Amino acid sequence: MGGVILTTKETIQISLSMVEMNTRNFFWFKMRDKIEGKIMFEYVRHCCQSLNLAEWWFCNTTHEIEPGALSFLRKLLPIGPLLRSYDNKIGITKAIGQYWEEDLSCMN
């Protein structure tokens, strides 16, 4: 995995197979103040470093939607797209196309 390609002062390109991104669009720059943004950036950085401990990462996507990201991050296992829907009758969000009753035994 290579480093980030700095294309200008305001854009980066994580991989040659991915489009350039404007750094001003990163959500930690849109926080109410700089301290909150720094805390959020450090949290995301810590999470990314922790991901190296996992053998695989499940990701709600497909190769057809995000080929660049999936080729760059080899540990991503696309299992999507998993769609969600809000059921007004019972007031919960559930998966679309899910016909089996949800098994919550793993939550214990």
Contacts of 18-22 spanning 24+ positions with Cβ under 8 A: 18/68, 18/69, 18/72, 19/68
* Mean pLDDT, rounded, for 93-99: 60
pLDDT digits (tens, 9 = 90+) for 56-68: 888 888 888 888 8
Both 48 and 66 in one domain: the answer is no
Both 29 and 75 in one domain: the answer is no
Residue 83 has pLDDT above 80, yes or no: no
Cα atoms in the Cβ-side hemisphere of radius 13 Å centred on 63: 3
The DSSP bridge pattern shows strands 92-95 and 84-87 to be: antiparallel
pTM of the model: 0.48
Both 11 and 49 in one domain: the answer is yes
Both 68 and 28 in one domain: the answer is no
Q: How far apart are CA 12 and CA 23, in angstroms?
A: 7
Confidence of residue 100 (pLDDT cuts 50, 70, 90): low
Total structural domains within the chain: 2
Q: What is the pLDDT of residue 1?
A: 43
